[in-house]
Homo-oligomer: A and B are copies of this chain.
Amino acid sequence: MAALLRAARTAWAPCATGRRFATGYIQRAAAEGRDSLLGQFQSTGDRFDSVLRGMECIKVEEGYVECQITVGDGVKNAYGTMHGGCTATLVDVLGTMALLSKDPTRPGVSVEMSQTFMAPAKGGEVITVTGTVTKYGRALGFTEVKLTDASGKLLATGRHTKAFPQKP
C-alpha cells in the first residue's frame, strides 16, 4: 500500500514540460481499485479539480469516504473563507469518490447537486469532508456530502445524484 502510494505520488511529480500527468482519481480508481483513493487527492493535472490539490483522503470504506482540506488561499473567496464554488466542488468530488468506493469503475454522470451553507469555513482551518452513498442503484447513484470544522461543527451539507448510463 505504502509503495503504491509512493508510486502514485511519483507519477504526479511535474514532468519535464512543467505539466502534470492527467490521470486523476477516477482513472486511478478504475485501474487500481478503491484504495487508490487514499492519500493525497489525485487531480487530473491542470484541469478544474486541481483546485482541490492538497486535499488528503484519510478513510475509504464501501460507500463512504473521508477527506481533509485546509482552507488555503486557493480555495478562498473575497472574505478569506472557503468559496461557495469550492464547497460545491467538494460536493461534486466527494460524491463521486463515494460512488467509486462502491464500484471503482462506475463514476457516473452528474444529474443534480445542491448545497446548503450553514457557516463559513474559515481561512487556515482544516475541514473534514465526508461523502456517503445513500442509495446505489442500477441506473442512479445517490450521495450526501458534509463539511465540518475541527470542532465538529457542521458548515455545509449537499447532495450529488449521478446517473450510470445504460447501454441502449
A residues apposed to B, CB below 8 Å: 22, 24, 26-27, 44, 46-49, 51, 73-78, 82-86, 88-93, 109-119, 134-135, 138-140, 142, 144, 154, 157, 159-161, 163, 165-166, 168
Are A166 and B163 CB-contacts (below 8 A) given A117-B111, A157-B144? Answer: no
Q: List 17 A-B contacts (CB under 8 A).
A: A24-B78, A47-B75, A48-B74, A49-B77, A49-B85, A84-B113, A85-B86, A85-B88, A88-B92, A109-B117, A112-B114, A112-B115, A112-B117, A118-B135, A119-B135, A134-B154, A135-B154
List chain B residues, Cβ under 8 A from A112. 111-112, 114-117, 161
Docked-complex contact B115 and A48, CB < 8 angstroms: no
List chain B residues, Cβ under 8 A from A117. 109-113
Are A48 and B85 CB-contacts (below 8 A) given A118-B134, A154-B135? Answer: yes
14 new A-B contacts, CB < 8 A, other than A83-B89, A113-B114, are: A22-B78, A47-B75, A47-B76, A47-B78, A85-B92, A111-B140, A112-B112, A114-B115, A116-B134, A116-B142, A116-B159, A118-B142, A119-B135, A166-B166
Docked-complex contact A115 and B118, CB < 8 angstroms: no
A104 CB to closest chain B CB, in angstroms? 14
Docked-complex contact A89 and B88, CB < 8 angstroms: yes
Q: Which chain B residue shows the least CB distance to A107? A: B78
